[in-house]
Amino acid sequence: HDAVLYLRPQAGRDSEEFFADARYGELWVGPRPSLASLAATTGLECRDIAALADEVGLSLAAGTTSGLRLVPDADPAVTALVTPLRSGGAARADDEFVTALSELRLVKDDFEVAQLRAAVAASARGFEEVVRALPRAVGHPRGERVVEAAFDGNARVEGNGVGYETISAAGDHACTLHWIRNDGAVRPGQLLLVDAGVEVDSLYTADVTRTLPVDGRFTDAQRRVYQAVLDAADAAFAVARPGVRFREVHEAAMRVVADRLSAWGMLPVDAATSLAPEGQFHRRWMPHGTSHHLGLDVHDCAQARRETYLDAELREGMVFTIEPGIYVKSDDELAPAELRGIGVRIEDDVLVTADGVENLTAALPREADAVEAWMASLR
């Protein structure tokens, strides 16, 4: 096929747009490249987007295209522009197109891996800033936002920004899986769960979670939950390699989670019964998946078919997360009193290699003793 990139061309200083258009005028929003310079940069033919409707209409009428495929609402203006030109069955064709685009991204090439490494490195530096910010966060009425601002500021300096809304969750807030309000206090003796990633200029993003003791040292109860989550993550790492099905990574982690919850007396059945499809009692404390693909989106390839994603075998070049957790709400009467209010997640980004996986986020400590030593070195 021939690729054509449709764009809004430059408007010169002799145009009304330059001075009066607050959305596109360069006086308002800054300069943009010409079609010729973008063609030289991308290697694609670049045309004025004002011609898109006419050119697509003529192409369809002449039968020179086999049909129109659209990523719905990726650009609402384009969607509105081409919708009147389409015939029946468009929605199904679009779904197939979106699925195909998702599946094209399942295996990363060398450029993509390099971008993800850069995003991970910038994220690691962001976590260092989080640790340095903890003394300022403690006692502040919105200490979680002090932490969020430390990471997000680094992301703006080192990359394009954050790849998704940062989770900065202290104490019981860590048991809310997508806590993004980040408006709570950070108190001594608590754990702080930070789920954050830097998006680099190419738009590839990291996705990392570390759970940190605010005081720099885990209590015995915190360490017990933390070690269980770490063991679950390590079990997932141990099975991940080419030829293993994606869902088997999750299953390996869940065996550890169910075993520990059973040992703590929190399950109404034994671990094996809970792991059966009709059981799943352990999912009360670990309700999410252990892994998702990572790339241009934080949940990359999300529109891929089940047989190419969850039920597919891992292949060299895939990049995904390993992120088990255990979340015990402060009012959870099924849990031992000393474990209530403890939420732990450990998330790493991994690259499938020829014979296993590489932990791209290994520079950030994972073991409890190493986390304590790392925090001490930064504070």
Instruction: Tell me the per-residue pLDDT of 265-282, one tens digit each, with 9 for 90 and over.
Output: 999 999 999 999 999 999
pLDDT at 66: 63
Provide, rounded to the nearest whole percent, the portion of the chain with pLDDT above 90. Answer: 88
Which regions of the chain carry the CATH code 3.90.230.10?
Answer: 110-378
Distance CA 371, CA 379 (A): 12
pLDDT at 64: 62
For residue range 297-311, list pLDDT tens digits in order.
999 999 999 999 999
Section 33-48 average pLDDT:
96
For residue range 224-233, list pLDDT tens digits in order.
999 999 999 9
Give percent helix, percent strand, percent coil of the chain, each to the nearest 5. 45, 15, 40
The token pair that represents 335 in the structure block: 């849990």
User: Where are any strands of DSSP class E within the chain?
Assistant: 4-7, 45-48, 161-162, 167-170, 191-196, 198-199, 208-213, 319-322, 325-328, 342-345, 348-352, 357-359
User: Where are any strands of DSSP class E within 18-129?
Assistant: 45-48
Q: 163, 259, 179, 236: which is closest to 211 by C-alpha? A: 179
- For the cut 90, the answer to whether the pLDDT of residue 59 exceeds it is no
Q: How confident is the model at residue 80 (pLDDT cuts 50, 70, 90)?
A: confident
For residue range 95-153, list pLDDT tens digits in order.
999 999 999 999 999 999 999 999 999 999 999 999 999 999 998 999 999 999 999 99
- For the cut 80, the answer to whether the pLDDT of residue 331 exceeds it is yes
Q: Which fold has domain 110-378?
A: Creatine Amidinohydrolase (3.90.230)
Entry pTM: 0.94
pLDDT at 68: 82
- For the cut 90, the answer to whether the pLDDT of residue 335 exceeds it is yes
For residue 88, the tally of other CB atoms under 10 A from its CB is 7
Which residues have C-beta within 8 Å of that of residue 23, sequence separation ≥ 6? 29
pLDDT at 81: 83
Strand 191-196 relative to strand 208-213, pairing: antiparallel
- For the cut 70, the answer to whether the pLDDT of residue 322 exceeds it is yes
The token pair that represents 60 in the structure block: 């369809």
